[in-house]
Structure 1
Amino acid sequence: MAETESAPVDPPIPVPDVPGADATARGLPRRRDLTLQQRMVVDASAVADLGLRTAVASIVGAAMLPRLAGAALHRNRMHDEDAALGFYIDLAAQQDPLLSFPAPTVPPDVSTRPANALASWVAHGSVHNIEFASSFRAVNPALREQRGGYSRNNVVHAQHWVHGDGPRPTLCLIHGFMGSAYLFNGLFFSLPWFFKSGYDVLLYTLPFHGARAEANSPYSGYGYFADGMAGFAEAMAQAVYDFRSVIDYLEHTGVDRIALTGMSLGGYTSALIAAVEPRIQAVIPNVPVVTPEAAFDDWFPANMLVRLGNRLTGVDKTKSGAATMFHSPLNYPPLVPKDRRLIIAGLGDKLAPPQQAEALWRHWDRCAFHWFPGNHILHVSQPDYLRRMTRFLRPFMF
């Protein structure tokens, strides 16, 4: 690698230098285990995250309103919603990732074009935007016509940072909900530093985000929740499927080592991909959610709208929770070996509470687990965990 594992990492977004650490054998630290400085930062970041959580929950709730109104006006939709949830419950109960997430059978027909000059300047290298038509078909046959009609969403987009001397080990990043901008993610995760360290980099755009958002979408990511729990299930299934097509493309170009990380919704998706895709050398979910139904319980006002929707459609919480297990990484054994899994969590996170990451850690046989004393967005002492990622990845990628 061009940089040593101890080289300084200086994210363009300044963060306080309050160190985190790896979890112990019993998991995340208790409050009394923290220093006074760490406790102060965790408490302050948790309070700050409450406002962000309310804002995000309001946005998600707004996406749900049209469907709730339709359920109230058209009572016959109750049966459709119940049947859809039953479909995913049955799939989840089989705990078979091959059945839940079939692999693409058609190689993607990828087109590439140079990214803008700003992207190349940030990366200090060659940057291309890639796209191809998704061959995904809804897992639930009853939804295939509807999902097939989302023309913009069914074109896959990604940005690829490449060195000029042939394919390199590639670090793939999956963004969080509403956070699809390539520039933001490149800077937030110090991807120019990883690129300089020898990695090629690929930033993958989730369904209904960025250029994949439908023309009438009020914001990036709107489509994830606009079609209710069944729509969310299909969006997750498509996120996994399309990323596997991206891996097909990378393999076609000669890439033989791929590491995957993702933040928030991207962390959730990366953890799920690790249970489905055997070609991943290492996986690093960052502030992930793993049981959305439980996480949403505290997301006011979206939690109230979920309860209202369940009443209107006659769906109880137990059933909706069972349906979400279809796309939970807790429902499937990981394919990535234990020593190649690393989880990162913020102790003050209120959008994806650290208990979510801890549940994944337990499911993943208590693999490597790093915590920082910050929240969902303010990743306090981020250089510390970026260096942790570098030390973790190096044996598998170079």
Structure 2
Amino acid sequence: MVEFRILGALNLLGVDGHALTSVLAQPKRVALLAYLAAATPRRLHRRDSLIALFWPELDQEHARAALRQALHGLRHALGDGVLVSRGDEDIGLDPERIRCDVVEFERAADAGRLADALDLYRGDLLEGFFIRGAPAFEQWLEDERVRLKAVALRNATLLAERGGLAESLQWGRRALRIAPLDEPTLRRLMQTLDRLGDRAGALEAYEAFAKRLAAELEAEPAPETRALSDAVRARAATLSSAVTELSPLETPAELPEASGVPRPHRRWLGFAAAVFSLAVVVAGVRLRARPPTLLNAQRVLVVPFANRTGDSTLDPLGNLAADWITYGLGLTGVLEIADPGAMVLGGRTGSALRPGQAGHEAADVRALSLASSSGLAVWGSMYRRDHRIEFDAQITDEASGKILHPLEPVLGDPREPRPAIR
């Protein structure tokens, strides 16, 4: 079957899979074939209507001769039976012998196969294509470009609205590639990135859009788009300030008493802030660099710490450590926190798992992450260090199973370690 691709890069392949360069080198023949393939309603076309579209400057006799010559060239290149006729006046294509991506695209969209349709939409109809002396054809081409782009944009928008956050991001980006100057599409993408905590990504999308708008239309974003950008920027600044104030690099003496949080609590909030700041960065990178998975890149699982001190009376500290990290992450209002206690694996609840007791801590964390659809996991162990207890934590990218980053340890007094984590 002959393949005719006119969405995005132009190509025409014969039944042997080779490009039909004799047609591709003739813009008027490409335009005629594209019209016969894609014009709606899809039917045979009168010779007089084709003449008016493509040879308006010629008289009837010369225009008909030009059409006959073009059709002869197409028949010779495409092979027998691709061009069909009815009587002397009607011309069309046999859909059983030539496949056009526009037809396939619309068929998939009409059937609700939105992702399949978008796979076929590789760009504007006859992108960058132009022929001289055929204003009626140029008008038809422009109208069809607008119509088909609207169908593609609607498909991408529907997929973004129907999916989870990862799918919403994927299809939101695709929608903006389809319509790079469409402000509602930009705002939907910015809102998705904001919900995912990738405020830097949302602001990058806004700045790139503003530059395109200025360069192509000498305009600036609408007030509602600027307001959304300002709101995202304000939230990013507030979050950055909160993380800085809770930084574990501060010593206890530097932490303000007026915060209303006891000094030991602030130390653990600082530890949680370090976890949070790294988790946001990691999640943002994963969302930009990876295809969507079944794991939610913005959901964090915090697992009770394994007790490696040799003192079983300190077992409750593992849960308390996880509780305070969870509390600190929850203060941000950005990351979604999974509840390990709500999951049951092999007859055990997640909160009953003690990573490390059986030597399978990574496997246990992985199982909990899959059960909770968590893309990131925070877990660790408690050790004795001289006269103190050391809490070591790490963040795991559960999509790859890799440890992303160890965190600075937090130390507590073994004689009364509970205040360090309460």
TM-score, scaled relative to structure 2: 0.22
Q: Which has the higher contact order (CA 8 A, sep 6+)?
A: 1
Greater Cα radius of gyration, structure 1 or 2:
2
